[in-house]
Homo-oligomer: A and B are copies of this chain.
Amino acid sequence: MTVATLEVPPASPRVTGIRSVTVIGSGVIGTSVALAVRRSGAEVALIDADADAVAEAERMGAGVRFTPDTPPADVVVIATPPSSVARVLREAQERGLGAVYTDVASTKGVIVAEAARAGCDLTTYVPGHPMAGRELSGPAAARADMFAGRPWVLCPGPGTPWEAVRPVVELAEACRATVRLLPSRRHDRIVAAVSHTPHLVSAALAARFAEAEETVLSLAGKGLRDTTRIAAGLPELWCDILEQNAEPVAVVLDEVVRDLTAAAAALRSGGTDVLKDLLVRGNRGRHRVVDAFPAAESAF
């Protein structure tokens, strides 16, 4: 079955039917979801292996610590690192923590396959990816408006009923995001291009300055600062993300390497046409990226 790209219009009047959410993982994304959901009036229970992280999220008003008495939630949000999602989902479903389950990991295909192998109930699992974030981590970096105006991709499988998808759509709308439905493989190819490969390329640029002299650093400008910003992401988390989306990222990386290898050869041989062609394509791509961001300046 081919699922077309579908922008889901917000329910009108905009009221959410979600009354309770359990968020597993009190990092920057999990706590931001919790803060946004709390603003919409729903109850939030928080779970994290790190008691300090839960306490910090509680202090920020993100909800209350999960206890054995916490009733099953309308939606359980798994906001743990990508490689742990399938295991956490299986355990949450076994404990009956909620009616439906979603996650916020930035890769989908591998996690869905792992969840199937782990014996998870895929009819109550709606894989998700809120496409926002900060290079900062931990609950203190969370913001209730993190997802406002940003895309939130959901990748329900062909066997997932709409009654399982609907509460997750409402969760995303409670966070003021725009819901997009995509097949998981298509999602993975897109994020490889718009997010994961740029991260590796930014790291490869920034790596040139790991041991740089002060004189070199003192002459850096805004261009280098912007191109290396996302290299500040947590190496452990990003290694996990990249390995979960390995082949799609490698394919885009190959294209970048091909262009840069040709550019280096052109610089040495005076191949002006090759250089100019890359710069013109880059120019055009940049303009298309900017045009897709009508309200870019205010988004962050």
Contacts and interface: CB of A to CB of B under 8 A. Distances in A.
Interface in A208-225: 208-210, 212, 214-225
B210 A194 contact: no
Contacts of A242: 267, 275
A208 B287 CA distance: 12
Contacts of A280: 235
How many A residues touch the partner, as a band?
Answer: 35 or more
A29 to B, nearest CB: 13
Copies in the complex: 2
A300 to B, nearest CB: 5
Interface string A233-274: 101101100110011011011111101110110011010100
Nearest to A222: B300
A225 B263 contact: no
Contact of A272 (B191, B233, B243, B250): B243
B285 A228 contact: yes
A32 interface: no
A278 interface: yes
Kindly name the residue among A153, A210, A256, A282 whose own CB sees the greatest number of chain B CB atoms within 10 A.
A282
A226 B220 contact: no
15 contacts: A131-B219, A190-B216, A203-B279, A206-B281, A206-B285, A206-B286, A207-B278, A223-B229, A223-B230, A227-B230, A228-B286, A235-B276, A243-B270, A249-B267, A254-B264
Q: What 4 A-B pairs come out closest when comparing CB atoms?
A: A203-B282, A209-B285, A206-B285, A217-B292
